[in-house]
Each structure stands twice: as C-alpha cells, then as structure tokens.
Amino acid sequence: MKKLLSLLVAIAMLLSLMAAATAQSPVVLTMGSWENTAAAVIQEMLDAYKEVSGIEIRFEPTQADQYNAALRLQLDNGTGPDLFYSRSYATGQELHDAGFNMNCSEIPGVLENFAPSSLEPWQADDGIVFAVPVAAVSHVVYYNSAYFEEKGLSTPETFEEFLALCEEIKAFGDMYPLANGIASEWDILECVYLGMLPNYVGGPEERALYEAGSAKMNDDKFLKSLEDFAALTKYFPDGFESVQYGDGPALMATGQAAMFIDGSWSSGTFARMYDFSDIGAFAIPAPEGFTPGMAFHPDYAIAGNSATKYPQEVKDFLAWIASPEGAQNAANHMPQGFFPMINAPITMDDELSNGILGLNEGRTLDARFIWPRMMDLYSAMRSNLDAIAKGEMTAQQAADDFAKLQADLLSK
Amino acid sequence: MRRYGAGSVHPGGFYWQWYLIPALLLYSIFMAYPMIDSVRLSLFAGTTGTRAFVGFDNYSRLFTDPLISKRFLNAFGNTWVFFAFHMLLQNVLGMMFAVVLTNRTMRGRTIYQTIVFVPCTIAVLVTGYLFKLILNPVWTGRILRDAGLAFLAKPWLGMESSALNIVSLVSVWQWVGIPTMMFIAGLQGISDDLIEAATIDGADSWKTFWKIKLPLIMPVVGMIAIMTFVSNFNAFDIVYAMETPNGAPNYATDIIGTMFYRYGVAGEHPTGIPQPGVGAAISTVIFIMLLIGVIPTLSRTRRKED
C-alpha cells in the first residue's frame, strides 16, 4: 500500500513538473503562407532562426489559391498567424488598410537595407511600410540546351532572332518551338506578355506615364509589343487553346517542345526534370532598337500580425529577416528561383537560379506592368491576348482596346 | 393499459418528439443556421470585420452592375445548358440502360451494370484531370492522327464553342450510373404478372415500356428530376477540375457554382479579394430558384403517392 502511494505521489509530482515545463516553454509563433509546396525548405529556415534566437516558429501554409480568403477569415476572427506572407501591391495593402499589419517602418533595418523601389510594393500611401520584402521573381525563356547543341542553335539576342530561332525549330519538325498555351488564363498574360513588356515600355518612370494617362496604351511601343506577341503565338503548340500552364514543363520534359516562357520560380522544377546541364534560360529579348528590360517582380514579403500576443518576438524576427544575415539565411532556404530583395550581397548556391538572376544585368527592371496601379485591366487584357493568339483580333484592335480600358480606369 | 406507443403507459401522443431532437439540433446548427446567416451576409458589404449594412445593394449589383450582371447572366445560361445535358441525356440514357439491364434474357448483366456504375466511384478531380489529358491534342493528337482520326485532335476544352458541351458530356459520362441504378431498382419492383399479362394481350416491348413500365416508375422519375435539378444548379467541381475556377476559356464554362466560388470565397485572380456579400447574394438567388423548381415537383409526386 505504501509503495502504491509513493508511486502515485511520484507520478503526481512528475505530472506537475511537466505542466510547469510546458507553462514556461519558449514562445511558439506561427507563420501563414501560400507556399505549401516548399514547406519543408522554409521550415528549415525557421529552424535556423530558432538556433539563433531560441524562438520557435511553426510554418503553417494553406492552399495557394485559397490563401487570401483563408488568411482574411483567420485575421477577422482573431485566430490569424503571428507572421504571414504578404502579397505585393493592392492585395497586401488591403489587409494593412483593415488594420491587420504591424507597422514595419519602425523595425530596425527595414528603411536602411532596402531600396525605395523594393519597399514600394508594401508601402501604403502614407509611407508606412507594412511588410518586410523578401523575394522577387523574374520571367525568362527556358530552353532544352541539349537539343540546342545537337541542332547547333544559339540563344537569341534580339526579338527578331528569337522569331527566327522559333522558325528554325519549327522547320526541323520534331519539336514545338514553344510550350506555352492559354488555357490556364494567367501565364499567357503574366509570364509571356508582361514578361515581354519592359523591353518595349521601359522601367518604372515610363510606366508612370501610362498610369498618369500622359502616354496611351495604343502608342507605337504598345502596338509593337502586341505585334511581336502575335508573331510569337504562331509558334505555340497545335491546340494551344487547351494547353495549361502545367503542360508546359511536361511538354519540355517529354521532348515535345524546345522552349517555355515561364517564371524564375520554376527553375527548381526544371532543374529536377533535366540534368542541370540540359536546361538553360535566356531573357525574353528586346527587338532591335529597343532598350532591353526585364520583369523583375516583387513577389512576397513577411508581415507581422498587429494583434499578435508576442509583438516583441515578431518584431525581432522581422528585424532578422531585414538584416543581411537573416536575408542570407532566407536565401539559403528559399525555393529555387526566388531572389532576395535586400540591398546586400547575398549569394545563392543554385547555379540555374544564379544564372537567371544574372540576366538582370544591364536591363531596366520593373514589376509586372499592371500590378502597381492598373490591376483592374487584368482580365480584359488577358482576354485580348487570347483573341490575338486565336487570330480573332489584330494587334491594332487589341491596342485600341487597351487604350480604351486605360481611359476608363483613369476616369474612375 | 398499454394503448399507444412503444410500451408506454402514458400514451400522451407526443413522446415521439424526443426522437426528433438530435436530428433537429444537427439540422439547425449545421444547415438552417448557416443558410439563414448567409442570407444575412448577403445584405452586407466589405470583406473584413468592418462589414457595412447595404440592404439589397448586393442583389441589385448582381443584376445591374455591368460586369457582375454580365457574368451572372452568362453563368446562369451556362448552368441551364449544363442542366439540360444531364436532364435530357444522362437521365434518358440512364432509363435506356436500366430497361436493357433488367431484360432477363440478357447475358453478363452484372458486368455491364458495373461498367455503367464504376465512373460514379471515381473522384471528380481524377475524372476531370484524366479527360483534360485525353481531350488535349498535345497529348493524344499523335495517337488520333495515327488512327486516322485527325479531325478529333482539336483543343476541345480550349474552344469557346465546344468547352461547355464537352464538360457537360464528361459529367454525364461520370454520373449516368446513378439514375441507371435507381431506374433498375424501380423496374425490378414491377410485378412480372403485369408484364406477362401485357405480353399475352399482344403488347410488344415498346408498348410495354410506354404503357406499363414508365407509368409505374413515374415517382422515381420525379425524384431523379429533382436530384438532377438540385445537383446541377449546385455544380462546381467538374468545371473547377477541367477548366479552372474562371470557367475557361473566357468564361464559356462559368456556371453559378464557379462564379459563387470566385466572388464569395476565393476572389478573382490575381488580387484574390473576395466579396462575401455578393457571393452570399448569388447563393441566396440559387436557393430561391431551387425552391421554385423543387416545391411544385415535390408536391406533385407527393399527391401521387397518397
């Protein structure tokens, strides 16, 4: 009996000890994100932070296409994550306007370590920075370099050479020149057309002219961009109307297409599909006489929840992400093809991603043309591009429609 | 003493109420409350905590806002086409299969029955994905051309003229087993005496079907009609699986379900800012339409049973 009693006492003591231990356990923060395919890699980055700070952060991603709605609902009900991925421009700012974001302007390093143009996508009209910029993406043409070598093809320097290259591949008859299609209703606009556009329009200063209405979206530059786009669609696969975004890499991998216009974020997919040496990337070339540009798009930032129970811990993490050491760590654990936005020399060990980042050199960089101010044009522009690809609309008609949409938007 | 009820000495006549309570509770919490709350939501605007009461503004936007009303009318029309395919093709095919499969002289009935029913057991996302590949000339074009069927190698799901029809046909293919099974059950319930008597009286199988079998399974037909109506006006998954929630190409396959998802839940790509009020208004309108469609049909089949 005594034995039993002492055993019970021991168990009770052990239990109370455990309870005390959990009560004093270090703070655990949560991080919401849409990046559910690379969850393991990002958790590694957060684990690395734990080693530095002792603070544990749990990565809790949701389905990418439901992230905005799910996050909004959580924040609305007071169950939001302590840290969350913030989309650039209007979508991210909407949450800030609703009061869910911590003010990041006060976080050490934010104003010093980022270029104003990098902060702008997460900056409200009153100048408050509402998230710490993390990564940008760019748009490039991937190509099967083994095939290029076999056929003696070289990567193009100008858009005219690009078209000639497509024509040459088409003449060989064994592969589609390009694997792009229009069925997913986003990549044709975001990757292909808005990827081409900086070559024609220029950088942020020129974009501002269109946003202010002093330049019209049916001027010579836009018309030329649409004519070139129309020429390019001739080299899409037969039945491109039903080719979805995911079919592109598959067509490349099965040796049915030689090139695919896509985002840098796919470099990991391509590197896994091919031996690295068989895949290359080149910038979407500018036509002769135009200044080469590149869509280098601010993709995501990390925001702090203004209603978090642990404001100091959240601020510490954001300050770390805004520091060169933190950004380097993030870069080490970022999915391939996402480029650090911090103003510091960050090295990445992935060769293909580094190569893609290197394409920025000597080019005018800008976000996707419509993202900052003209997002309302998205679906109308996309549907015009579809019509051009299907041959239902001429470049001139599409340009005139763009100008009309632009005028409607500005008169609002 | 014992006069009514399950061994009760206190007949009372109301003891059965207690049995209703669990179902009533579940129904109120998980069905009635959300439904009433979504009607309430349809009177508010805004996406977050600061929702503002706007009365019937969401409804009037549904019918007058140039963009939303255009999408809504388009989705409404597409839903009717989608429904018509199921009502006319799926249910008629189901009836034909059922008549053939209840023919006692036929061999291998169970095999055919299984073949007809198996698609119902496949997840819609899987069906959608498979047909997306099958109907894509990039993947199957070579096989078709080699088989001399080059005219079939078209981007069926990418052409506005064919996309909705094809999606509807895939859905019909998948679900034809359900009416088939129910009609089979109905037809098997018909007494052999009736059929025999009719045969002796000189009725051929055509006449037997129209004059005896069909009238006797009319209640099943009514029920199938209601089920088809309700499930197709609530349809969403097959379009989501085959054509993205946008109802690609260019909204040609956008039905009320996908439109509701875009406006109410996910928001339009790329901003992804939903308008729950508009979404709730769409779902309330569907609810009212379903009521208008279902109540008369239901009360008519009810009267027949009495």
Residue A286 maps to which CATH number?
A: 3.40.190.10
Is the separation of the CB atoms in B281 and B195 below 8 Å? no
The pLDDT value recorded for residue A272 is 84
Least confident of A200-214, A259-273, A342-356, B108-122: A342-356
Mean pLDDT of A211-232: 96
Three-class SS of chain B: CCCCCCCCCCCCCCCCHHHHHHHHHHHHHHHHHHHHHHHHHCCEECCCCCCEECCCHHHHHHHHCHHHHHHHHHHHHHHHHHHHHHHHHHHHHHHHHHHHHCCCCCCCHHHHHHHHHHHHHCCHHHHHHHHHHHCCHHHHHHHHHHCCCHHHCCCHHHCCCCHHHHHHHHHHHHHCHHHHHHHHHHHHCCCHHHHHHHHHCCCCHHHHHHHHHHHHCHHHHHHHHHHHHHHHHCCCHHHHHHHCCCCCCCCCCCCHHHHHHHHHHHCCCCCCCCCHHHHHHHHHHHHHHHHHHHHHHHHHHHHHHC
pLDDT single digits (tens) A182-192: 999 999 999 99
Residue A233: list chain B partners with CB under 8 A: none
Is residue A1 scored above 70 in pLDDT? Answer: no
Looking at the fold, whether A238 and A152 belong to one and the same domain comes out as: yes
Are A94 and A122 members of one domain?
A: yes
Confidence of residue A316 (pLDDT cuts 50, 70, 90): very high
- Considering only the beta carbons, identify the residue of A186, A190, A241 that sits closest to B249: A241
Do A167 and A272 lie in one domain? The reply is yes
Domain boundary among A357, A374, A391: A357
Q: Is A78 a domain residue?
A: yes
**Residue B104 pLDDT level (bands cut at 50, 70, 90):** confident
Give yes or no: residues A225 and A371 share one domain. yes
A318-322 mean pLDDT? 94
Per-residue tokens: A356: 């893609």
Q: For testing the chain A interface, which of B48, B138, B271 should be mutated: the one with the most A CBs within 10 Å?
A: B138
**Predicted local confidence at residue A277, as pLDDT:** 82
Name the residue among B50, B138, B246 with its Cβ closest to that of A237.
Answer: B138
- Domain ranges, residue A41: 24-137+297-357
B83-305 placed in CATH 1.10.3720.10? yes
Q: What is the pLDDT of residues B58-81, one digit of tens each?
A: 999 999 999 899 999 999 999 999
pLDDT-derived band of residue B301, with 50, 70 and 90 as boundaries? low
Provide, as residue numbers in chain A, all residues whose Cβ is less than 8 Å from the Cβ of B266: 65-66, 68-69
User: Cβ contacts (< 8 Å) between B272 and chain A: which residues?
Assistant: 65, 67-69, 87, 91
What does the pLDDT average to over A27-38? Answer: 89
Q: Which of A67, A76, A237 sits opposite B48 (nearest CB)?
A: A76
pLDDT at B297: 77
One domain for residues A98 and A206 = no
Cβ pair B267:A68 closer than 8 A: yes
Share of chain A above pLDDT 90, in %: 72
Q: Does A73 map to a domain? A: yes
Cα dihedral A278/A279/A284/A287 (nearest 10): 0
Show which of A320, A339, A357 is a domain's final residue.
A357
In A, which residues are within 8 Å of B243 by CB distance? 183
pTM above 0.90, yes or no: no
For residue A183, the chain B residues in CB contact (below 8 A) are 155, 157-158, 243-244, 248-249
A–B interface: beta-carbon pairs under 8 A: 106
User: Mean pLDDT, to the nearest integer, of A85-99?
Assistant: 90
Distance from CA of A373 to the nearest CA of B (A): 12
- Spatial separation of the C-alpha atoms in residues A45 and B208, rounded to whole Å: 74
State residue B107's pLDDT score: 86
Instruction: Judge whether A161 lies within some domain.
Output: yes
Residues A253 and A395 in one domain: yes
Q: Inspect the interface and report whether the beta carbons of A186 and B248 lie closer than 8 Å.
A: no
* A326-340 mean pLDDT: 88
Task: Report pLDDT for A17.
Answer: 58
Contact B158 A256 (CB under 8 A): no
Percent of chain B past pLDDT 70, that is, above it, reads 92
Average pLDDT, stretch A130-143? 95
Q: Is residue A15 part of a domain?
A: no
* Lowest-confidence segment of A14-23, A31-40, A67-76, B118-127 by average pLDDT: A14-23
B133 Cα to chain A: minimum distance (Å): 9
Q: Judge: A240–B272 Cβ closer than 8 Å, yes or no.
A: no
pLDDT of B18 above 70: yes
Report the mean per-residue pLDDT for chain A.
91
Of B156, B157, B249, the CB nearest to A386: B249
Q: For position A24, what pLDDT does the model report?
A: 55
What is the rounded average pLDDT of the residues B172-200? 93
> Among the listed ranges A21-30, A68-77, A214-223, which one has the minimum average pLDDT value?
A21-30
Hey, are the CB atoms on A239 and B250 less than 8 Å from each other? no
Q: What per-residue string of b and e applies to A263-277 under the rule 16 or more CB within 10 Å gives b?
A: bbbbbbbbbebbeee
Q: Do A185 and B249 touch (CB under 8 A)?
A: yes
Higher pLDDT pick, B8 / B277: B277
Q: Quick one: average pLDDT of A402-408?
A: 95
Q: How many domains does chain A have?
A: 2
The ipTM of this complex is: 0.81
User: What percent of chain A has pLDDT above 70?
Assistant: 94
- Considering the domain architecture, whether residues A318 and A347 belong to the same structural domain is answered as yes
Q: List CB contacts (< 8 A) between B153 and chain A.
A: 238-239
Domain ranges for chain B, please list them: 83-305
**Same domain, residue pair A279 and A308:** no
Asked whether residue A2 is assigned to any structural domain, the reply reads no
Answer yes or no: do A239 and B153 touch at CB < 8 A. yes
| Domain annotation covers residue A97 | yes
pLDDT at residue B306 is higher than 50: no
In B, what residues contact A, Cβ < 8 A? 47-50, 132, 135-139, 141, 153-159, 243-246, 248-250, 265-274
Give the domain-ending residue among A319, A335, A357.
A357
Contact between A237 and B245 using a beta-carbon 8 Å cutoff? no
For residue A3, is it within any domain? no
B-chain residues near A375 (CB < 8 A) = 270-271
Residue-level pLDDT at A4:
65
Half-sphere exposure of A209 (CA within 13 A, CB side): 11
Q: Check pLDDT > 80 for residue A231.
A: yes
- Same domain? A277 vs A305: no
Local confidence band at B7 (pLDDT 50, 70, 90 cut-offs): low
> Which residues in chain A touch residue B254, judged by CB atoms under 8 angstroms apart?
none
Does the pLDDT of residue B279 top 60, yes or no? yes
Q: pLDDT tens digits, residue range A253-272?
A: 999 999 999 999 999 888 88
Residue A241 lies in a domain: yes
A383 to B248: CB separation less than 8 angstroms, yes or no: no
Instruction: Convert the pLDDT of each residue in B156-175 to its tens digit.
Output: 999 999 999 999 999 999 99
The per-residue pLDDT for B117 is 94
Q: Does A64 share its domain with A120?
A: yes
Contact A239/B265, CB-based, under 8 Å?
no
Grade residue A2 by pLDDT with cuts at 50, 70 and 90.
Answer: low
Check pLDDT > 60 for residue A19.
Answer: no
Q: Is B274 within 8 Å of A65 when comparing Cβ atoms?
A: no
